[in-house]
């Protein structure tokens, strides 16, 4: 097992040293996947005149504080940080939260990123999807493949656990940071999305994380909210039940429920086909 992991790491580092011969850009959210990739790309470029840019998309579907966080992590790693604004709801036809939302969104985001990179004469772009991500419904990965973006973590088969372990070994501050997917994932497909409702979900989750919850999502069904949290955090929810109910009602929800299955990534995607993933993998194999 260790030999196989070491082999994957060595192969990926060798590939990066061979490929990073010119200025390049890494799609950078500040999460552990993109942070590890950025760190490795900077390492591959070390000692050369190659510039590595961390490009963060300033979106309407992520908490505003994520930009400040991404800038801090990029500086920690030693990359130049660029920010490109985009409004997915207005520009990607996502107002009704369609089933192919992630495809439309990623196509727009990476098209904008390509345009931003071109301003600096950059044509090589990398992004941090990991191999385990493709086990779920990931239509956005097809857009990544269509646009010719490199995905080394997928290419060399690195799982989320392996990414976190490597990031920790390299001393990255985000090695144990929970994932922060876009706020549209809190709503059922076919639900009209609005900035106001997404900000409410953001406010509620921020409050719950402040109570000590690690993985937490609010799944929103009109005025009903379904709390997903790690089962080991249920005692916190029970002990603070009345406070939580009162706070979430003040934010604007009427019915406050707890999902007894606990936190699971992509729970709104249950029953959705993986056809987009299969098409993306086929493109990768070609």
Adjacent-strand bridge partners of 227: 218, 258
Region label for 247, one of left (φ > 0), alpha (ψ between -120 and 50) or beta (otherwise): alpha
- Kindly indicate whether the domain formed by 183-264 is annotated with CATH number 3.30.70.2210: yes
Would you say 66 and 180 are in contact if contact means Cβ atoms under 8 Å apart?
Answer: yes
Question: What residue spans in the chain does CATH classification 3.30.70.2210 cover?
Answer: 183-264
List, for residues 210-258, the tens digit of each pLDDT value.
999 999 999 999 999 999 999 999 999 999 999 999 999 999 999 999 9
| pLDDT computed for residue 266 by the predictor | 85
Would you say 147 and 110 are in contact if contact means Cβ atoms under 8 Å apart?
Answer: yes
Question: What residue spans in the chain does CATH classification 3.40.50.620 cover?
Answer: 2-180+274-285
Alpha helices by DSSP H, 101-169: 101-118, 140-146, 152-155, 160-169
List, for residues 90-146, the tens digit of each pLDDT value.
888 899 999 999 999 999 999 999 999 999 999 999 999 999 988 878 889 999 999
Model confidence at 280: pLDDT above 70: no
Helix (H) or strand (E) holding 114: helix 101-118
Q: Report pTM.
A: 0.88
CB atoms within 10 A of CB 37: 28
Rg (CA), the chain: 19
List, for residues 161-199, the tens digit of each pLDDT value.
999 999 999 999 999 998 888 899 999 999 999 999 999
Would you say 196 and 169 are in contact if contact means Cβ atoms under 8 Å apart?
Answer: no
Spell out the residues 6+ positions from residue 87 whose beta carbon is closer than 8 angstroms to its own.
Answer: 59, 60
* Separation CA 67–CA 60 (nearest Å): 11
Domain boundaries 2-180+274-285, CATH class: alpha beta
Strands (E), 34-188: 52-58, 80-85, 124-126
SS3 54: strand
* Separation CA 101–CA 128 (nearest Å): 19
Region label for 47, one of left (φ > 0), alpha (ψ between -120 and 50) or beta (otherwise): left
Pairing of the two strands 124-126 and 52-58: unpaired
What value does the mean pLDDT of the chain take? 92
């Amino acid at each position: 097992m260790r030999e196989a992991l070491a082999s994957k790491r060595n192969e990926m580092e060798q590939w990066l040293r061979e490929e990073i011969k010119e200025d390049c850009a890494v799609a950078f959210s500040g999460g552990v996947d993109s942070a590890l990739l950025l760190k490795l790309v900077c390492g591959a470029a070390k000692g050369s005149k190659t510039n590595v840019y961390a490009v963060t998309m300033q979106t309407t579907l992520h908490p505003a504080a994520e930009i400040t966080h991404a800038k801090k992590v990029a500086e920690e790693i030693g990359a130049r940080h660029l920010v490109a604004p985009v409004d997915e709801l207005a520009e990607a036809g996502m107002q009704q939260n369609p089933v192919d939302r992630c495809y439309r969104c990623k196509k727009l985001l990476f098209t904008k990123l390509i345009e931003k990179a071109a301003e600096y004469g950059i044509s090589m772009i990398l992004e941090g999807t990991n191999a385990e991500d493709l086990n779920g419904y990931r239509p956005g990965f097809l857009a990544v493949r269509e646009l010719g973006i490199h995905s080394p973590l997928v290419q060399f088969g690195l799982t989320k656990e392996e990414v976190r372990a490597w990031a920790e070994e390299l001393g990255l501050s985000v090695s144990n940071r929970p994932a922060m997917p876009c706020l549209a994932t809190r709503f059922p497909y076919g639900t009209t999305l609005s900035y106001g409702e997404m900000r409410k979900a953001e406010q509620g989750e921020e409050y719950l994380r402040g109570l000590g919850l690690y993985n937490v999502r609010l799944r929103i069904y009109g005025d009903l909210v379904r709390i997903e949290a790690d089962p080991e955090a249920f005692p916190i929810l029970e002990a603070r039940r009345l406070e939580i109910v009162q706070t979430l009602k003040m934010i604007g929800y009427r019915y406050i429920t707890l999902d007894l299955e606990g936190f699971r990534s992509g729970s709104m995607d249950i029953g959705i086909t993986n056809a987009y993933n299969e098409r993306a993998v086929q493109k990768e194999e070609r």
